[in-house]
A = this chain, B = another copy of it.
Amino acid sequence: MSTLQGIALVAQGGGPTAVINQSLVGVVNESRHHPQITKIYGARHGIRGVVKADFLDLTQTTARNLEQVAGTPASALGSTRDKPTPDYCKDMLAVIQKYGVRYFFYIGGNDSSDTCRLVNAYATAAGYDLRAVHVPKTIDNDLMETDHCPGFGSAAKFVAQAFAGVNMDNRALPGVYIGVVMGRHAGFLTAAAALARQYPDDGPHLIYLPERPFDPKRFVADVKKVYDRRGLCVIAVSEGISGKDGTPFISSLMKGKAVERDAHGNVQLSGTGALGDLLANLIRDKTDIKRVRSDTLGYLQRSFLGCVSESDAVEAREVGAKAVQFAAMGQRSGSVSIRRIGDYAVDYVLVPLEAVAAKTRHMPNNFMNAAGNHVTPAFLNYARPLVGPLPAFARIAAPAVAKR
């Protein structure tokens, strides 16, 4: 095996997470152990920074600065939503060749792995020796091949702590509470709201995921049933809930209105409270429940400062380091994936880029209940080690005073 000598280039794509900078620092620190990596550059704003040759020389960072950055949420190099078309990837390769980049590490979701796949293929076709490794990241947890994705555990911890607090708030002032959670096609993050439950009557009492068709009539009936029994109801809803034909439920609200679409043609779901308000109004209209509130958890889910899962932070660092080892020592391209061993440890393997690129993983059926309005213990067992322990909380344990 030849040892390829040259510059390593690292970039961050797609939506930021609380631990995406751990992966960046994992790449930078590990690169320093491999003399065939002569310098380490960081592209600003993902692939846009690659085509524009907008690079920072990360070889000149200090260990202390890197550790501070690792603990900082959101993509420190900047990110992009640019779609990696074949032409775009050819332009990237031209810059990569011009600057003598031999190792390319792209931290991102399934679009980022597709970018690695394309750039790698064009390099091979051009006879340019390059190692391209995809470092997984997404709060949606929707990448193929990997047991889970760095970024998910911390976002899930935020969602769980949000719903744990909201449960207690809603017990203090009872009513219906709807919390809208990120996740266009995969319900993992919404399902994480169930980790907030400690007492048997804790919420969320209902959970709606994109993997099951959303029926507004059924939704109202579900809420009414819980409310009639308990006098309150906490609900977690994915922003991506869709009808039987796959149309996002939010689109039904937008009929005749101009909707914002991203470069991939997807309707913009986040950054608006419209879905929560729509569902709250549905409950107000169809029931006689007086107190109905909705929150859209929004960008805090992926960026809130100071809510990080410890195992998520550790694994995010490791996938960055392993990416460099697979490329520099193994001389391989691919996507780093996490294997779960026992209960609970992990191992890292390199899988082909084709197996991950532009594909989406959904919640397995055994993670959702038959009624399609909650999760199963199998999901809780899957998610708990990724999130780690939540802050402790308790109800008052005291007997009622006899009435006179």
Contacts from A to B (Cβ < 8 Å): 12, 15-16, 18, 41-42, 45, 53-58, 60-62, 65, 68-69, 71-81, 98-99, 161-162, 164-166, 168-169, 171-173, 177, 196, 270-274, 276-277, 280, 292-300, 302-307, 390-401, 403-404
Contact = CB atoms under 8 A, between A and B. Distances in A.
Q: Which one of A77, A307, A393 has the greatest number of beta carbons of chain B within 10 Å? A: A393
B168 A303 contact: yes
Given A58-B398, A306-B161, A392 B300 contact: no
Contact of A76 (B78, B271, B274, B395): B395
Instruction: State how many copies of this chain the complex holds.
Output: 2
A163 to B, nearest CB: 9
Nearest to A68: B394
Given A272-B277, A401-B56, A69 B394 contact: yes
Q: Which one of A18, A270, A395, A398 has the greatest number of beta carbons of chain B within 10 Å? A: A398
Given A168-B73, A393-B68, A401-B55, A173 B297 contact: no
Nearest to A400: B56
Contacts of A42: 396, 398
A296 B293 contact: no
B69 A396 contact: yes
A74 B172 contact: yes
A71 B294 contact: no
Contacts of A165: 18, 73-74, 299-300, 303-305
Contacts of A68: 392-394
A300 B55 CA distance: 38
B169 A65 contact: no
Given A76-B395, A271-B280, A16 B55 contact: no
B273 A294 contact: yes
Contacts of A65: 394, 396-397
B296 A396 contact: no
A295 B299 contact: yes
Contacts of A71: 391-393
A78 B404 contact: no
A278 B9 CA distance: 42
Given A61-B396, A169-B303, 17 more contacts: A16-B169, A16-B172, A60-B398, A60-B399, A69-B395, A73-B393, A74-B165, A76-B168, A76-B172, A76-B396, A98-B404, A162-B300, A165-B300, A196-B305, A271-B293, A272-B276, A273-B296
B404 A300 contact: no
A63 to B, nearest CB: 12
Contacts of A60: 398-399
Given A71-B391, A74-B171, A400 B55 contact: yes
A272 B401 CA distance: 38
A306 B404 CA distance: 40
Contact of A171 (B78, B81, B161): B78
A305 B164 contact: yes
Contacts of A297: 300
A3 to B, nearest CB: 24
Contacts of A61: 396-398
Contacts of A69: 394-396
B396 A166 contact: no
7 contacts: A12-B172, A53-B404, A60-B399, A68-B393, A78-B172, A165-B300, A295-B300
A177 B78 CA distance: 16
Contacts of A41: 401
Nearest to A157: B306
Contacts of A404: 53, 98-99
A271 B175 CA distance: 11
